[in-house]
Amino acid sequence: MYVLGIETSCDETGVAIYHPERGLICHHLYSQVDMHNEYGGVVPELASRDHIRKLIPLIKQTLQESGLEKSDIGGIAYTAGPGLMGALLVGAATARSLAWAWGIPAIAVHHMEGHLLAPMLEDNPPAFPFVALLISGGHTLLVQVEGIGRYQLLGESLDDAAGEAFDKTAKLLGLGYPGGPKLAELAEQGKPTFKFPRPMTDRPGLDFSFSGLKTFTLNTFNNSPKTDQDKADIAAAFQQAVAETLSIKCRRAIKQTGIKRLVVAGGVSANKQIRAALSALAALEKSEIYFPRSEFCTDNGAMIAYAGCQRLLRGEQQNLEIFARPRWPMNELL
């Protein structure tokens, strides 16, 4: 069964086709970064309109390059949330309409489940069970994964997620949009000479909080001479603090669950220092660690096609309702 995957949760339009035996057939991604850069962040209305313009042409292109006809598609998976409501509705309405017109099932996919399962697209996918650290945009989650749809939430961000803290710190330093990659690039030119806290590591538990770290960065910046080197050193200290905080929490999760297998996914998982810190942790704990390739760290249609395919194979599907939830806690996902 060929499954068409559609991702439109924020500022990237992703389309992919996946087959349970042949694997990923074809995928395409259109990024709106250049358009939103002018405004210093994502403008929801512009994002929605751009998805409308780009989604159908991308679907046609993906079908053509895969050598498939619409009659070959056996199901459609789409991101139903969380995300920007207008953007989600574009993907949901398109997927639901095509499924009705083609006489095939459609399945709503949780955006974070897509990220969680992205490493399954690799040649050496992780075996179940594993602990997953999901660090994507407004979400920082630790999840115990026993199988498809069998998830236990271990910890989550109580305020700002790691990705939000990266973006807000980058804006503070005048780095523009998208902030995370720009801050990581600046950090490579600095040294962590400033001493930053590792939030919520001095107490038990697996929850995260990066709001205080953002405030600490602001105070440090305001009290510094604000030279280019100061900015680079602040970026390096901030990035190191986030990487070590994530590492400490992941080590706790490994010890708490006894699972020696760690998956790290989501846009922030592409950060080199975070990857290095978590890889060092895995080596220390004699654990296996898995990352998706860089193109599957950010939002993409391939992860949605894969996640949707697994659920369709289990016999799941939605009715004709156009389902979209801008807020969709992962602990509600069964």
**What is the reported pTM?**
0.95
User: Could you give the CA distance from residue 259 to residue 261 in angstroms, rounded to a whole number?
Assistant: 6
> Residue 319 — very low, low, confident or very high, per pLDDT cuts 50/70/90?
confident
Chain mean position to CA 85: 17
Q: What is the pLDDT of residue 234?
A: 97
Tokens describing residue 325? 């939830």
Nearest alpha-carbon partner for 288 in 268, 267, 259 = 259
> Which one-letter amino acid corresponds to residue 15?
V
**Domain-by-domain residue ranges, the chain?**
2-117+296-332, 128-291
Question: Binding site for Fe cation: which residues?
Answer: 111, 115, 299
CA-based torsion, 249, 254, 260, 261: positive or negative: negative
Tell how strand 2-7 and strand 12-19 pair up. Answer: antiparallel
Query: Cα separations (Å) of 291 from 96, 112, 122, 224, 266?
Result: 31, 15, 9, 36, 9
pLDDT digits (tens, 9 = 90+) for 89-110: 999 999 999 999 999 999 999 9
In this predicted model, which residue has the larger pLDDT, 40 or 122? 122
Which positions make up the binding site? 111, 115, 134-138, 167, 180, 271, 299
Can you say which residues are annotated as belonging to the binding site for substrate?
134-138, 167, 180, 271
Q: Distance between CA atoms of 330 and 334, rounded to whole angstroms?
A: 9
Give the single-character DSSP code of 177: S
CATH superfamily of 128-291: ATPase, nucleotide binding domain (3.30.420.40)
The pLDDT of residue 331 is 81
Residue range 23-34, pLDDT digits in tens: 999 999 999 999
pLDDT tens for each residue of 268-314: 999 999 999 999 999 999 999 999 999 999 999 999 999 999 999 99
CATH of domain 2-117+296-332: 3.30.420.40
